[in-house]
Structure 1
Amino acid sequence: MSKHRWSIEQKRLHVAAWRASGLTRQQYCELNDIPFKSLREWPKDVAKAERRANEPTILPVQIATPLHADAPPPVTNEPVTLFLPGGIRMCVSGSPEPY
């Protein structure tokens, strides 16, 4: 007999349904034909998947030259704000004018 492979979405739905049901983990498993050992691990699997999905990523940025000759020059001294995990906000002001 082969093992059933549960997707992370199926795990997430069952964990939420179990928690909302008011049943013990054992009762929920018996009613839904899920191995107890599997449901015991799923909350950790779901949390790990959510952390992975929320990991910050670095995106490459390239400043392109204007397409039209009459385009205004690019703004170089505008501040940049980065919003980081945990509610941290990092503001960087424009560079000072050269001497």
Structure 2
Amino acid sequence: MSKPRWSIDQKKHHVTAWRTSGLTRQQYCELYDIPFKSLRQWPQDIAKAERRANEPTVLPVHITPPLHADVPPPVTNEPVTLFLPGLIPVRERPLAVKP
């Protein structure tokens, strides 16, 4: 028989319910037929999932040529702004940005 797989939401629910139940971890596990070792590990699993959810995401950027190859791209003097983790802005002048 295979072990049941618990979703993060199920783990959060049971950890919160156990902590507010007044039961020992062992008592809660016996009441809800949850392996003791599983419930012991779930707070770390939840923390790890939350850290992953808050990790910065890198979005791909594609620079394409203009629709009409004989028309040069427009020139702009506006800086390009990138945001680092923690929303730290990094501004580059257009001449420093290379396609």
Q: What TM-score, normalized by structure 1, do the two folds share?
A: 0.65
Aligned to 2:41, the other structure's residue is in SS state helix
C-alpha RMSD over aligned residues: 3.2
The answer to whether structure 1 residue 27 and structure 2 residue 27 are counterparts is yes
Q: Which has the larger displacement, 37-46 or 49-58?
A: 49-58
- Structure 2: 5+ residue stretches without partners: 68-73
Tell me, yes or no, if structure 1 residue 42 matches structure 2 residue 46: no
Aligned residue in 1 for 2:11: 11
Partner of 1:90: 89
Count how many residue pairs are aligned between Structure 1 and Structure 2: 94
User: Taking structure 2 as the reference length, what is the TM-score of the superposition?
Assistant: 0.65
User: 5+ unaligned residues in a row in structure 1: which ranges?
Assistant: 68-72
Counterparts of 1:59-70 in structure 2 under 5 Å? 59-64=59-64
Instruction: Report how far residue 28 of structure 1 moved.
Output: 1.8
- What SS is found at the alignment partner of 1:92? strand
Residues in 1 aligned to 2:66 and 2:25: alpha-carbon distance in whole angstroms: 61
Relative to 1, partners in 2 of residues 1:62 and 1:37: Cα closer, same or farther, differing over 3 Å? same
